[in-house]
Amino acid sequence: MTARPPVPADATVPARPLFAAGEIRRRVREIADEIAAAHPGGVVLVAVLKGALPFLADLVRRLEVPVEVDFLAISAYEPDSGRVRLVKDLDTDLAGRDVVLVEDIVDTGLTLGYLLGELSRREPASLEVCALLDKTARRILPTEVHYRGFEIPDVFVLGYGLDFAGRYRNLDRLVIGDVDVLTLDPDAYVADLYRAPPTHAENGTGAPGSGAAGHVNPGESG
């Protein structure tokens, strides 16, 4: 591995666009059609909180077969270690069901490997993976992704569910951020990516909180 040049993180460099909302919408439709074609009798979608939420919400509305949804949440112990644990389990019994695990992004594949092991023990009739984004070049654990939105290079992505320290999940598009910049200041891209809330003078009422269409809630991490 080559050493990084000692270039200071430059927060003035904006996040770069990756996929626009319209491009994501079109691709999600195509994936929904693929899943429906493979499962005409219906399917159980298991989504991994929190990142898969926008993807799942758009996917289910395009699926023209009966769908049940359920959620699980995991907590990572260390980055890239693959040592994760379930912090929220499913309510649904997967035995004998056709299951599609819905993920925002597959990076090293370690998280997915853990989840597939966990879910296959419940003896579903079938178990497939649907991921919006796939960083195949970063894969450590080979894992099959049956339905893939976009294959992307080794970049750090924000938006449409993906976060840094809980920020940026609610963007309707995907952008590329710089991890060094974000590590120094997790809010570095907030002013650039969100519409600034109007000042009291601009919103015309003088009342705090009114007309705050672009208000940013940094949310919690995870």
Q: Which residues bind ligand IMP (CB under 6 A)?
A: 51, 82, 103-112, 156-157, 162
- Backbone dihedral angles phi then psi of residue 202, each to the nearest 5 degrees: -70, -35
Residue (77 or 208) nearer to ligand IMP, CB: 77
What is the smallest separation between the CB atom of 3 and Mg ion, expressed in angstroms? 30
What is the smallest separation between the CB atom of 9 and ligand IMP, expressed in angstroms? 17
How many helices (H) does the chain have, and how many strands (E)?
6, 9
Residue (108 or 170) nearer to ligand IMP, CB: 108
Give me the catalytic one of 107, 134, 163, 178. 107
Is 54 a residue that touches Mg ion (CB under 5 A)? no
What is the smallest separation between the CB atom of 91 and Mg ion, expressed in angstroms? 20
Element (H, E) at 19: strand 16-19
Single out the residue of 48, 189, 210, 191 nearest to residue 131, CA to CA.
Answer: 48
Token pair belonging to 198: 């109007």
Is 159 a residue that touches Mg ion (CB under 5 A)? no
Strand, helix or coil for residue 181: helix
Strand, helix or coil for residue 104: strand
Residue (51 or 109) nearer to Mg ion, CB: 51
- What one-character-per-residue DSSP string does 22-78 give? HHHHHHHHHHHHHHHHH-TT-EEEEEEETTTHHHHHHHHHH--S-EEEEEEEEEESS
Which residue stretch of 7-15, 32-40, 102-110, 172-180 sits at the interface with Mg ion (rule: CB under 5 A)?
A: 102-110
107 is catalytic: yes
- For Mg ion, the nearest residue by Cβ is 51
What is the smallest separation between the CB atom of 208 and ligand IMP, expressed in angstroms? 33
Partner interacting with residue 134 (select from Mg ion, ligand IMP, none; CB below 5-8 Å by kind): none
CA-based Rg of the chain, rounded to a whole angstrom?
Answer: 19
Q: Which residues are catalytic?
A: 107
Residues engaged in binding Mg ion (CB under 5 A): 51, 104
